[in-house]
Amino acid sequence: MKVTTTFAFLAAGVQAAPHYTFPKLAGTSDWSSVRQTANFQSNGPVTDVNSDAIRCYERAPGGAPDTTDVKAGGQITWVAAPNIYHPGALSAYMAKVPEGQTAADFDGAGAVWFKVYQDMPTTSGGQYTWPSNGKAEIPFTIPQCLADGEYLFRIEHVALHSASAAGGAQFYISCAQVRVSGGSGTAQPSELVSFPGAYKATDPGLMINIYNNGGKAYQPAGPGVFTC
């Protein structure tokens, strides 16, 4: 009986793990213009940076039913469910849909992604504190200089509470389908990466003890942030 009780308690603890998803953009419904992720029920993370799941963590191919209109230079706000519970780095990427395709049928494969946002922690007493921790809504600005057209917009939160060994980082990812208008088209992102391919499990920003960092500045994984 004791063993059974203990097992039940542990199982309940696993089910109640404080994971999360990014199911929608503000002003839309869940999984309408955001591709439904494989963790839409479990809320569990991706941990293998070499898997295709690291791209958009899609439950199935085929894209989302809708594409959300956004203005270049304006904001897009992601909604977390329930919130960003774990400490770690938040970033955002975009990928322009090639001519002849739509955001709904573009799979995002290849070196097409450019980073448009990266948060940075403050450091105190050898520990990092991230501005995204505990947030339920996170706004991002669409670069004004982008060309008009359809894009995938990828949000990524990498939880680092267990990242002291390779493979311990937990990735919470979603991709939204957006249609950008009002852009000047005066700049072309050049530092393009692929998913998988952009990260190694041993990157300093992914294999790290965030509770005893020796006062070092945090080194984000991936490329630099594209600016106009």
| Residue corresponding to tokens 């938040």 | 90
Look at residue 110 and tell me if it is in a domain.
yes
Output the pLDDT for position 216: 86
Q: Walk along the chain (228 residues) and give the pLDDT tens digit of each residue.
A: 333 333 333 333 333 457 999 999 999 999 999 999 999 999 999 999 999 999 999 998 889 999 999 999 999 999 999 999 999 999 999 999 999 999 999 999 999 999 999 999 998 888 899 999 999 999 999 999 999 999 999 999 999 999 999 999 999 999 999 999 999 999 999 999 999 999 999 999 999 999 888 778 999 999 999 999
Under 8 Å between Cβ of 63 and 112: no
- Residue 196: asked if its preceding bond is cis (omega within 30°), the reply is yes
Number of structural domains in the chain: 1
How do beta strands 127-129 and 137-141 pair? Answer: unpaired
Residue 33, class by beta-carbon neighbours within 10 Å (0-12 exposed, 13-18 middle, 19+ buried)?
A: buried
Structural domain of residue 40, as residue ranges?
A: 20-181
Q: Is 167 helix (H, G, I), strand (E, B) or coil?
A: coil
Strand partners, 193: 113
Strand partners, 129: 122
Output the pLDDT for position 14: 35
Look at residue 77 and tell me if it is in a domain.
yes
Under 8 Å between Cβ of 116 and 92: yes
Look at residue 214 and tell me if it is in a domain.
no
Look at residue 67 and tell me if it is in a domain.
yes
Say how far apart CA 170 and CA 44 lie, in whole Å. Answer: 9
And the tokens for 174? 């979603």
Look at residue 86 and tell me if it is in a domain.
yes
Output the pLDDT for position 6: 32
List the CATH number of the domain containing 27: 2.70.50.70
Output the pLDDT for position 17: 55
Under 8 Å between Cβ of 171 and 201: no
Look at residue 218 and tell me if it is in a domain.
no
Say how far apart CA 200 and CA 204 lie, in whole Å. Answer: 9
Look at residue 14 and tell me if it is in a domain.
no
Q: Please give the DSSP secondary-structure letter assigned to residue 10.
A: H
CA separation (Å) from 67 to 33, 105, 109, 149? Answer: 5, 11, 19, 11
Look at residue 8 and tell me if it is in a domain.
no
Backbone angles phi, psi at 68, to 5 degrees: -90, 135
